[in-house]
Amino acid sequence: EAQVTQNPRYLITVTGKKLTVTCSQNMNHEYMSWYRQDPGLGLRQIYYSMNVEVTDKGDVPEGYKVSRKEKRNFPLILESPSPNQTSLYFCASSFSGSDEQYFGPGTRLTVT
């Protein structure tokens, strides 16, 4: 089944404790992206990647890192999480970036 998977789906952590949210797609897509969704603010792009080893900042990259060492994986790293990073995070992928985006099921992160 073609899909985008994210892990974990739910995470509660404390300020400053490094964490990684994994994202994997099995559709051989070149483009992958991370978004956060907050009430009243909608979906905002954090980082995106056009291909292996090619990443670029979105609208809200501060406090996040990404890497794209393999085509199928695009992990999101929070080196020192803070409470303002409490949010619902979505990973997405597509063939080219200009076509349909397939979203993962979301990761609900709470930083206390």
Residues that bind another protein (CB under 8 A): 31, 33, 35, 40-45, 48, 50, 56, 58-59, 88, 90, 97-101, 103-106
Which one, 14 or 54, has the nearer CB to another protein?
A: 54
Which one, 11 or 103, has the nearer CB to another protein?
A: 103
Which one, 14 or 41, has the nearer CB to another protein?
A: 41
Give the Cα separation of 48 and 26 in Å (integer).
17
Mark 24-40 as b/e (b = at least 16 C-beta within 10 Å). bbeeebbbbbbbbeeee
Nearest distance, CB of residue 70 and another protein, angstroms:
19
Nearest distance, CB of residue 18 and another protein, angstroms:
26
What is the Cβ-side half-sphere exposure of residue 96, based on CA atoms within 13 angstroms?
A: 2
Nearest distance, CB of residue 19 and another protein, angstroms:
21
* Cα dihedral 17, 72, 55, 51 in deg (nearest 10): 170
